């Protein structure tokens, strides 16, 4: 059984005109004969592969990103695939990204001790706030606070750079530390390494430490915020060795050794104000 064919659509006037003169147009305006494509030789293919590889190496893309965190009061040890070890203090968050020619860590909050395996062609970089620390192989501590980052070197060599002003940079030698305050590098000074690393033994060591800095360290071990309501109290010095397992006892000690008063809200928020003068 034959299927009836659908009737052809009539050509428009323009199409009819083109149809009548198609052959003449082809003679007057012949299409160029396409040139045969030569197959790529292995040398060309190899050059292209090398070019792509060089571009990837130069741009240094990341091929894996890992995120780690520690809970309040937890110490967490990370053994990285390159042989480096990172110890996270309480309430610390880091992001580790692996690149073709670099190893990078973003310290988003808290404090960490880095023991970096040596790889000459693949430097290890830590970004914390406005500070950047670059090393090949070494042992160093980085503590991030709201407006400051503190770097202390135990072993090896590190270069500390301001991310906001890369011209500011300083190389540290073992036993030195410096702070990056609001993106500005502060002068280097000798580090109290036992005090800097005491957090690994669940200790806080203060040696005439400004109260504002001490509170920033205490806050790592406390869920509810601590509010220093009077800026005049920020530079009051505090000294002593305290246990991080119960920072409430430490806070309750403050009114007995410093001219301040404290008040706690129902949610645990602590307000610290100057002690009123006696009448």
Task: Please report, for residues 153, 154, 237, the alpha-carbon distance to residue 194 in angstroms, rounded to integers and kept in the order given.
Answer: 12, 10, 19
* Calpha distance 84→262 (Å, rounded): 43
Q: Which fold, 202-274?
A: Phage tail protein beta-alpha-beta fold (3.55.50)
Evaluate whether 101 touches 121 at the Cβ level (below 8 Å). yes
* Pair 242, 215: CB distance under 8 Å: no
φ/ψ of residue 221, rounded to 5 = -110, 15
Closest CA to 163 of 93, 212, 107: 107
User: What's the pLDDT at 110?
Assistant: 97
Q: How many CB atoms lie within 10 A of CB 60?
A: 12
Q: For every one of its 279 residues, what pLDDT tens digit does the chain have, with 9 covering 90 and above?
A: 444 444 444 554 445 554 555 555 455 545 445 455 555 565 544 544 444 444 444 456 889 999 999 999 999 999 999 999 999 999 999 999 999 889 999 999 999 999 999 987 889 999 999 999 999 889 999 999 989 999 999 999 999 999 999 999 999 999 999 999 999 999 999 999 999 999 999 999 999 999 999 999 999 999 999 999 999 999 999 999 999 999 999 999 999 999 999 999 999 999 999 988 776
* Domain range list for the chain: 62-191, 202-274
CA 209/CA 235 separation, integer angstroms: 8
Say if CB 114 and CB 106 are below 8 A apart.
Answer: no
Q: From CA 187, how far away is CA 59, in angstroms rounded?
A: 34
Sequence-separated (6 or more) residues with CB below 8 Å from residue 2: none
- CATH number given to 62-191: 2.60.120.1440
Q: Is the dihedral of CA 222, 106, 169, 146 positive or negative?
A: negative
Residue 64, pLDDT score: 93
- Alpha-carbon distance of 67 to 81, in angstroms, equals 14
């Amino acid at each position: 059984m034959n299927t009836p064919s659908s009737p052809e659509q009539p050509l428009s006037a323009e199409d009819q005109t083109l149809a009548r003169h198609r052959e003449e147009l082809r003679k007057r305006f012949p299409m160029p004969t396409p040139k045969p494509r030569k197959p790529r030789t292995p040398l060309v293919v190899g050059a292209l592969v090398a070019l792509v590889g060089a571009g990837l190496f130069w741009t240094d893309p990341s091929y894996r990103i890992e995120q780690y965190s520690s809970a309040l009061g937890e110490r967490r040890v990370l053994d990285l695939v390159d042989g480096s070890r990172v110890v996270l203090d309480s309430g610390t968050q880091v992001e580790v990204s692996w690149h073709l020619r670099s190893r990078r860590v973003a310290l988003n909050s808290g404090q960490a001790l880095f023991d970096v395996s040596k790889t000459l062609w693949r430097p290890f970089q830590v970004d914390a706030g406005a500070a950047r620390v670059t090393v090949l192989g070494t042992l160093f501590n980085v503590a991030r606070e709201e407006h400051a980052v503190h770097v202390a070197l135990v072993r090896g060599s590190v270069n500390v750079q301001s991310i906001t002003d890369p011209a500011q940079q300083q190389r540290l030698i073992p036993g030195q530390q410096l702070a990056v305050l609001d993106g500005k590098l502060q002068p280097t000074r000798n580090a109290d390494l036992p005090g800097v690393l005491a957090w690994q033994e669940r200790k806080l060591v203060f040696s005439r430490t400004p109260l504002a800095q001490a509170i920033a360290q205490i806050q790592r071990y406390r869920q509810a915020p601590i509010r220093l309501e009077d800026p005049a109290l920020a530079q009051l010095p505090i000294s002593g060795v305290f246990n991080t397992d119960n920072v409430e006892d430490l806070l309750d000690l403050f009114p007995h050794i410093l001219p301040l008063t404290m008040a706690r809200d129902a949610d645990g928020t602590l307000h610290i104000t100057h002690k009123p003068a006696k009448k």
